Structure 1
Amino acid sequence: MNRLRALVALAAVVVALVLQVSLFPHLAWQGIVPNLCLLVVVAAALTIDAPSALLLGFAAGVALDLAPPADHVAGRWALALTVVAFLAARVRQDVRPTAVAVVGTVAAASFIGTSIFALTGLLLGDAWSVAELLRVIVVAVVWDVLLTPFVLPPLMKLFGRLDPRWASA
């Protein structure tokens, strides 16, 4: 990954993280906010090379783990977003994804990422009941899918411009 692409990707993560922890708590639905960092990671995984997307997923996860008001064991989001980056990169398979495939990828990535985060919390004693975790997962998936049309197309276009192999026609 060249330096410009890395800087743009990290800037996108920083902007997403700031919005996620500062603005979106005021718009929370049942106490749950959309995971903008997850959306940035999915956009990157669908647009840039897989190793770079994995690094970005890990970096975004660590940033989420350490950003206030984090109240969980650090590393849970890093694991979840790294797995999300891997799975989303596998979906791409050297073909530009369609709009339906992008929304489906976001829904699956949100479900898997939030589930990994929730299950590691359950194993580590950071989480509540299984019923509460299921509610959180469903609301998180709905949030992420609702924001997909507003977040992913501009990010994918931006990342595509930085890597001409994935630029839209």
Structure 2
Amino acid sequence: MRVNRILLSSALVVVALVIQVSVLARLHLPGAVPDLLLLTVLGLAMVYGHVGGALVGFGAGLLADLAPPADHAAGRYALVLCVIGYGAGLIKPENGRLRSATGPMAVVVAAAVGSTLLYAGVGALVGDTAARHVGLTGLLFSAALYDLLLAPFVVPGVMWLARRSDNDPLAETSPAAKAGDISSGWLSSGTGLRIGSQRGGLGSLKAKARTRSTRVGRIKGVKRL
């Protein structure tokens, strides 16, 4: 990974982990805890791709495993987020643009359900049966609901920062770019840039036509008004 990607990913992961442990975990919501760290990994993976997503997921999960008050074996959540980051990176569009919010929202729900199932499955292999006592169905529903409600406030901003750090043209701050970038609008279709480019092309064609007509008039010796 590039140095700027490593620095940005590290900063975002640390901030997300601190907020999750110090704020979200203390809300005592019914069921699961909103997973801000998971949403951060998803946003980075959908920009960096499957390899970058897997690396970011592994690092973020390992940091969560070692950060207090962790009460599980180290490497458990690292494996979960590594798999989730790899899977989310596979849906990265080739042109870097997401046409609608349906795809990212589906990814968030699938990641929330998948991470909960994978975490519980790995726990069952190492003898941790806490998920059975709490109720796996309630955990799945609450995890998907909380992450889906939190996603519009986290994932677009993370994607915008990731593109900005890579000097991606889609992250320009012009009004047209903001209207066409799904990472800043989540629901935009991206037609403003095309219209602008078409207008610019018509203007340049008219200018070229005037220049050619002026040259023809000068050659023939005819004075044109």
TM-score by length of 2: 0.70
**1:112 corresponds to:** 114
Indicate if the aligned counterparts of 2:84 and 2:115 stay in contact, CA closer than 8 A. yes
**Percent same amino acid among aligned pairs?**
40
5+ residue gaps, structure 1, are none
**2:220 corresponds to:** none
Indicate if the aligned counterparts of 2:50 and 2:87 stay in contact, CA closer than 8 A. no
Indicate if the aligned counterparts of 1:73 and 1:126 stay in contact, CA closer than 8 A. no
Match status 1:85 vs 2:88: no
Cα 1:30/1:38, change in 2 over 3 Å: same
Indicate if the aligned counterparts of 1:47 and 1:166 stay in contact, CA closer than 8 A. no
**1:15 corresponds to:** 15
| Distance apart, 1:130 and its partner CA | 7.2
**1:57 corresponds to:** 57
Paired amino acid for 1:10: S
| Distance apart, 1:65 and its partner CA | 1.0
Runs of 4+ in 1 over 2 A off after TM superposition: 95-98, 163-169
5+ residue gaps, structure 2, are 172-176, 178-225
Q: Which has the higher contact order (CA 8 A, sep 6+)?
A: 1
**1:127 corresponds to:** 129
Deviates more, 1:145-154 or 1:41-50: 41-50
**Counterpart Cα distance in 2 of 1:35 and 1:46:** 17
**1:158 corresponds to:** 161
The structure number with the bigger radius of gyration is 2
Residue aligned with 2:41, SS? helix
**Counterpart Cα distance in 2 of 1:52 and 1:143:** 25
Please provide the CA RMSD for this pair: 1.8
